[in-house]
Copies of this chain bind each other. A is one copy, B any other.
């Protein structure tokens, strides 16, 4: 907390990254490969995995680094466990030194238009794909008494929310709940738990979510500057390197981190006091402007629902 602790050095360590073929996961894989880590990525699409591995090969720090990719779904406990086991087989079955659960997706929509499937899939893609990896990894590390690191990826929407995110924000809040639980519980095994809260990231996943995102949600987000995948990956890496429990990489999310800290270990007492004071004034102003925008949107939204046959 006071910067006295030794920084994590991934050189020669085995790092497992889910969602490592694209976006944040790929950018992180590149950073860790450059740092000399043995990097294993898991993703679904074999073509994208091959392309990602080619990129990693270009930046390898030494010929002895193992750079591997595997195609797995991570939607279930069994699938995530199988993925972890295959990843570890290339390392004699030893648990990874660090696990970065970067897999995830979102599909913003209006709540009353969501189907059961939209809500269930939102929890799977936003929460379970990471929770199952954390569960499989924590059990393996604890059994092997490996003092590893596990990092989850939430979102600014794990600290706050607004219209459109009813299938996604609950999942990202759930990750925070899991991380805060495990940050305490995995101390029993010397395993450290980190969670990253990125803002809008300009990744393939962002293009995907924009396909269903209502216009009013886009309008509200337009104030958000966002990060590239590389910027976000660097913030995540630096946060884990210095042992932060909650990691943020942009000012807005840092304000939310400071103002939703509760009992979460703090990164910097002085700075977070300042952030919190700013947030104390700024978030209600932001909130009030969003509320006004939503209230103003009522008539247009009613017309939209009418054309969609909602009332008939």
**Least Cβ–Cβ distance between A257 and chain B, in angstroms:** 9
Point out the residues of chain B lying under 8 angstroms from A264, CB to CB. Answer: 160, 287
Evaluate contact between A161 and B173: CB separation under 8 angstroms: no
The A158-200 residues at the B interface (CB cut-off 8 A) are: 158-166, 169-178, 180-182, 184-189
Interface hit among A65-73, A138-146, A201-209: A138-146
Q: Is A280 an interface residue (CB 8 A)?
A: yes
**Least Cβ–Cβ distance between A147 and chain B, in angstroms:** 12
Chain B residue nearest to A171 in the complex (CB)? B174
Evaluate contact between B169 and A180: CB separation under 8 angstroms: yes
Instruction: Name A143's contact: one of B139, B176, B177, B310 (CB within 8 Å).
Output: B310
Of A119, A160, A189, most B-chain CB atoms within 10 Å: A160
| Known contacts A116-B77, A187-B291; A170 and B262 CB within 8 A of each other | no
Instruction: Name A184's contact: one of B112, B163, B182, B188 (CB within 8 Å).
Output: B163
Interface hit among A47-55, A234-242, A293-301: A293-301
Q: Measured between alpha carbons, how far is A161 from B177 in the docked complex, in Å?
A: 6
The A67-98 residues at the B interface (CB cut-off 8 A) are: 76-78
Chain B residue nearest to A259 in the complex (CB)? B262
Point out the residues of chain B lying under 8 angstroms from A175, CB to CB. Answer: 170
| Known contacts A114-B135, A170-B174, A280-B276; A160 and B295 CB within 8 A of each other | no
Q: Is A311 an interface residue (CB 8 A)?
A: yes
Evaluate contact between A297 and B178: CB separation under 8 angstroms: no
**Least Cβ–Cβ distance between A216 and chain B, in angstroms:** 9
Of A262, A276, A294, most B-chain CB atoms within 10 Å: A262
Which residue numbers of A lie inside 8 Å of B, CB to CB? Answer: 76-78, 110-112, 114, 116, 119, 123, 127, 131, 135, 138-139, 142-143, 157-166, 169-178, 180-182, 184-189, 256, 259-266, 273, 276, 279-280, 283-284, 286-287, 290-291, 294-295, 297-298, 301, 305, 310-311
29 contacts between A and B (CB under 8 A): A76-B116, A77-B116, A77-B119, A111-B138, A111-B186, A112-B139, A114-B135, A123-B174, A127-B174, A158-B177, A161-B181, A161-B184, A162-B184, A163-B181, A169-B180, A170-B174, A170-B177, A173-B173, A173-B174, A173-B176, A173-B177, A174-B174, A184-B294, A188-B294, A188-B297, A189-B298, A256-B263, A262-B283, A263-B283
